[in-house]
């Protein structure tokens, strides 16, 4: 690497509960001058502002360092777009968890496309398993979503009080809910 060459790092997790620390440490150990990170649940590059910022920083000869390929991209198409952007910048790409692949060659780029396809397949399987798990839970009678603000007894009381002419606003204040909730109960 020449003295002007920079190492620009990128890390990503898909939820706010996940921790970037492990990836950030790996990027620092690799000597990254700039590090960008996203905590975003997007399957496309478009929903990751720091990835876009990192790619736009690349100049000829820079090294774009990704901590974990399957965290940076969730689809084969996005993986190819990242590789394309790096190549167009005349930079090189290094993926720390795939260091045995030389991404400066067409063969290496093909391998990364394959890894991207596998990550996309895994994502689809996770979605399918989650959907199936929810369906099994529903079939067993598990209630999904937020708990109702009012129980059955309260709903019956509200309906009776509405029938007796009480105002929606007064009932909403009394039960600690919005007027629209009272209106839905009365409908």
Q: For 81-101, what is each residue's pLDDT tens digit?
A: 888 899 899 998 888 887 767
Q: Which of 65-69, 80-84, 100-104, 170-174 has the lowest mean pLDDT?
A: 100-104
Give the CB-side neighbour count of residue 130, counting CA atoms within 13 A. Answer: 6
Which CATH architecture does the domain made up of 7-124 adopt? 3-Layer(aba) Sandwich (3.40)
Q: Is a pLDDT exceeding 80 seen at residue 181?
A: yes
Q: State whether the Cα torsion 113-47-12-17 is positive or negative.
A: negative
Please answer whether residues 89 and 58 qualify as being in contact, where contact means their C-beta atoms are separated by less than 8 angstroms.
yes
**Average pLDDT score over residue span 40-65:** 85
Q: What is the pLDDT confidence band of residue 135, given thresholds at 50, 70 and 90? A: very high
Mean pLDDT score of the chain: 87
Count the Cβ atoms, other than its own, within 10 Å of residue 65. Answer: 24
What count of residues does the chain have?
A: 187
Structure tokens at 95: 């993926």
Query: Active-site positions?
Result: 14
* pLDDT on residue 45: 66
Mean pLDDT of 163-167: 91
- 73 pLDDT above the threshold of 90: no
The residue behind tokens 């009394």 is 174
Task: Single out the residue of 46, 24, 49, 26 nearest to residue 35, CA to CA.
Answer: 24
More confidently predicted of 169 and 4: 169
């Amino acid at each position: 690497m020449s003295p002007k060459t920079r190492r620009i790092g990128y890390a990503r997790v898909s939820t706010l509960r996940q921790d970037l620390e492990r990836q950030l440490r790996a990027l620092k150990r690799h000597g990254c001058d700039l590090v960008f990170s996203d905590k975003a649940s997007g399957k496309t590059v478009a929903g990751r502002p720091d990835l876009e910022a990192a790619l736009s920083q690349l100049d000829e000869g820079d090294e774009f360092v990704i901590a974990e390929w399957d965290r940076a991209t969730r689809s084969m198409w996005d993986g190819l777009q990242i590789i394309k952007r790096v190549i167009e910048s005349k930079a090189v790409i290094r993926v720390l968890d795939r260091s045995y692949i030389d991404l400066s060659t067409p063969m290496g780029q093909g391998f990364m496309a394959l890894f991207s396809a596998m990550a996309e397949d895994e994502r689809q399987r996770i979605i399918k398993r989650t959907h199936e798990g929810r369906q099994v839970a529903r079939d067993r009678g598990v209630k999904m979503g937020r708990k109702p603000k009012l129980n059955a007894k309260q709903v019956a009381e509200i309906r009776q009080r509405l029938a007796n002419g009480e105002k929606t606003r007064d009932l909403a204040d009394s039960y600690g809910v919005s007027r629209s909730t009272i209106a839905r109960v009365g409908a």
